[in-house]
Chains A and B, each alone.
Chain A
Amino acid sequence: MLGEGIVKGLAETARNFLGSYVSKDRLTTVQYPEERLPQIEAARNFPFLVYDGEDWQQGMRCVSCLICEKECPPKCISIEKSKDKKLDASGKPQFYPTVFNIDVSVCMSCQICVEVCPFDAIKMDVDFELSTKDRFGDLLWNKERLSKSNEYYRKIHPTEAAAVDAQLAEERAKLEAKSKLAAEAKAAAAAAPAQSASGVTAEK
């Protein structure tokens, strides 16, 4: 019968329409600004710089090694390395970036910078409500705007941050043990010449 297919199709539409009142599966629309879907944990949108502790300048993990700048496919990162060193969160003197800019109008959120960073200093953000009226200044993010605390990172990517924290803690423990050993060896070495010196004097 001509029109049978159309009637069948309309029955399907009716089922979907009526079903949307009872089944969540058929009504998937979310009224966005008022209603929000839960944030997916792995989501990524533009990188940020992680800092430990309270002070973003003191605790910044970035040591200005320039790897991300070199590996960034659209070359949206620009870094200027410091001449002097300052102490990082673990108390080790490190270089730091005097300038760290990301042009987010160029960035494509590919997270290659995150993958290549050996210091876990740059991570992906999840913030997507970033519209602005300033085309130029507001889309070139400096290091103050990019800096976000480790607590924030733990909040947005809990699983990933826990793994990073564990790894960093292990590295720091190793480093401390090593420096402790080195300090002991140094102390021992400092003690040993004194002994030998005293020995020499005793011989004489």
Chain B
Amino acid sequence: MSATTAATAHFTLKPSTDGGEGQLLEVSMGPQHPSTHGVFRMDVALDGERVVKLKPVFGYLHRNHEKIAETETYLGSMPYTDRLDYLCSITNNWAYALAVEKLAGIQVPERAEYLRVITGELTRLQNHTSVIGFLLQDMGASGTPLMYAFREREKVLDLFESLTGSRMMCNYMRFGGCRADMPAGWLQQAQKVVEAFPRFLDEFERLLSGNEILMARTQGVGVLSKELAVDAGITGPMLRGSGVNYDIRKVDKYGIYERFSFKVPLGEHGDVYDRYMVRLLEMRESVKILQQAIRDIPPGPIMDAKTKIRGFRPKAGEAYGRTESPKGELGFYLISDGSPNPYRYRVRPPSLINLTVLEDMCLGQNVADIVVILGSIDFILGEVDR
């Protein structure tokens, strides 16, 4: 189904540049960072300015993650999961830890669950700020929005560094808890960042959400219909931008998410603008979750006392653990044969699966819109190629 046929309320057909000669121009976009997401190439066939065919080419960043994990111990794969989606390492850790905990039947202490929620939602904040910054950078608003977004993201990364030791490659979670407890004053610092965050969001919305150029470039562009989104297995803000109410934090209630009250923002038209707005609104909900979690965090241990770090051997079986990562459903499927290494280790990457509808969204659009649509998908090639 071509995206142009899916008419929405504020969608207007662009004047055709098709002269009827039928001469197509093939353009290879990439493989250098086309929109700062990683190394990715697209073979685009153009009819004038219109896209008639688009073939994504990836694999430039393939690192054999799944096969390496089968030769590593369960713990040894944890730092590698940081490098899947390198913008949000903590939610990757979480999904993997969740799968292993399911496999081995490990209980996580209360405080560790709260720490996971706090760091996970902070990850969502910093991922969405940078993604929105990148999206606008792709659109040609070079500099200002990205710099404002990165200024805020840096505050969250400072929090991560003082908690986990690393800004991006946090390697924070362990089976049965978290690796490090909060240093003195961390919670106050986190609270300050969280309290100040809505002010930044207001500022960002004043800066851009009403901007006529942004609206012209994004509204009605890259429309993803509800049906196609569901059929293609799209998850995360992209699916919710198309108006499907599906958030794994609400559906699975993994961890302790049933204790927090938050809403799931939904889009209406499924275009780039809706995806942008869904992310902005999601950050406001994340701030709410963070405020509740910071208020309620109990004292106590952060690691399950019965789980050893070394010589970890879950009994034979299989498990699938999934979380709502900022990009969508991130799942880890593990098969254990009772040895220290997993027999099978499979990642369900939201980035790759969300990328599969790229052609459907781009068909009939102008060539300049491809990069905008690409930016609105929010994918990271580290996770697409693995």
- Give residues in A with beta carbon < 8 Å to B: 2-6, 8-9, 11-13, 16, 28, 40-44, 67, 71-73, 108-112, 115-116, 124, 159
Give the chain A neighbours of B207 by CB distance below 8 A: 8-9, 12-13
CB <8 Å contact, A108 and B79: yes
A67 to B76, CA, bound (A): 13
Contacts A12-B206, A28-B151, A116-B309: A110 and B171 contacting too (C-beta < 8 A)?
Answer: yes
B58 at the interface (CB under 8 A from A): no
Contact of B75 among A2, A42, A71, A124 (CB under 8 A): A71
Contacts A2-B212, A109-B166: A73 and B80 contacting too (C-beta < 8 A)?
Answer: yes
Contacts A5-B211, A5-B212, A13-B207: A109 and B161 contacting too (C-beta < 8 A)?
Answer: no
B interface residues, how many (CB within 8 angstroms): 39
A71 to B72, CA, bound (A): 9
Give the chain A neighbours of B213 by CB distance below 8 A: 6
CB <8 Å contact, B165 and A159: no
Give the chain A neighbours of B309 by CB distance below 8 A: 115-116
Query: Which 3 pairs, one residue from A and one from B, show the smallest C-beta to C-beta distance?
Result: A5-B210, A110-B79, A44-B165
Contacts A42-B165, A44-B165, A108-B79: A159 and B183 contacting too (C-beta < 8 A)?
Answer: yes
B148 at the interface (CB under 8 A from A): yes
Contact of A124 among B82, B165, B179, B214 (CB under 8 A): B165
Contacts A4-B210, A16-B148, A110-B171: A43 and B310 contacting too (C-beta < 8 A)?
Answer: no
Chosen A-B contacts, 18 in total, with CB atoms closer than 8 Å, are A4-B212, A5-B212, A6-B212, A6-B213, A8-B206, A13-B207, A16-B148, A40-B158, A41-B183, A44-B166, A71-B310, A73-B79, A73-B80, A109-B166, A110-B79, A112-B76, A112-B78, A115-B179
B203 at the interface (CB under 8 A from A): yes
Beta-carbon contacts of B68-94 to A below 8 Å, as 1s and 0s?
Answer: 000011011111101100000000000
A16 to B200, CA, bound (A): 11
Residue of A nearest to B163 (CB): A42
B208 at the interface (CB under 8 A from A): yes
Shortest C-beta distance, A71 to chain B (Å), equals: 7
Q: Number of contacts between A and B (CB, 8 Å)?
A: 82
A13 to B143, CA, bound (A): 11
- Give residues in B with beta carbon < 8 Å to A: 72-73, 75-80, 82-83, 144, 148, 151, 154, 158, 161-166, 169, 171, 179-180, 183, 203, 206-215, 309-310
CB <8 Å contact, A41 and B310: no
Give the chain A neighbours of B179 by CB distance below 8 A: 115
CB <8 Å contact, B169 and A112: no
Q: Which of B82, B158, B183 has the most CB of A within 10 A?
A: B183
A115 to B161, CA, bound (A): 18
Give the chain B neighbours of A40 by CB distance below 8 A: 158, 161-162
A103 to B165, CA, bound (A): 21
CB <8 Å contact, B161 and A42: yes
CB <8 Å contact, B211 and A6: yes
Give the chain A neighbours of B211 by CB distance below 8 A: 5-6, 8-9
CB <8 Å contact, B76 and A42: no
Contacts A40-B162, A73-B80, A108-B169: A8 and B210 contacting too (C-beta < 8 A)?
Answer: yes
CB <8 Å contact, B75 and A112: yes
Give the chain B neighbours of A43 by CB distance below 8 A: 161, 165-166
Shortest C-beta distance, A5 to chain B (Å), equals: 3
Shortest C-beta distance, B136 to chain A (Å), equals: 11
Residue of A nearest to B210 (CB): A5
Give the chain A neighbours of B212 by CB distance below 8 A: 2-6
A2 to B211, CA, bound (A): 9
A109 to B183, CA, bound (A): 20
CB <8 Å contact, B208 and A9: yes
A13 to B145, CA, bound (A): 9
A5 to B209, CA, bound (A): 8
CB <8 Å contact, A28 and B161: no
Give the chain B neighbours of A8 by CB distance below 8 A: 206-207, 210-211
A55 to B165, CA, bound (A): 29
Contacts A73-B76, A112-B76: A42 and B206 contacting too (C-beta < 8 A)?
Answer: no
Give the chain B neighbours of A72 by CB distance below 8 A: 76
CB <8 Å contact, B161 and A12: no
A180 to B211, CA, bound (A): 79
Residue of A nearest to B82 (CB): A110
CB <8 Å contact, A110 and B169: yes
Give the chain B neighbours of A5 by CB distance below 8 A: 209-212, 214-215
Give the chain A neighbours of B82 by CB distance below 8 A: 110
A40 to B183, CA, bound (A): 11
Residue of B nearest to A108 (CB): B79
Residue of A nearest to B206 (CB): A12
Shortest C-beta distance, A172 to chain B (Å), equals: 24
A28 to B157, CA, bound (A): 14
Residue of A nearest to B213 (CB): A6
CB <8 Å contact, A41 and B75: no
Contact of A9 among B72, B171, B206 (CB under 8 A): B206
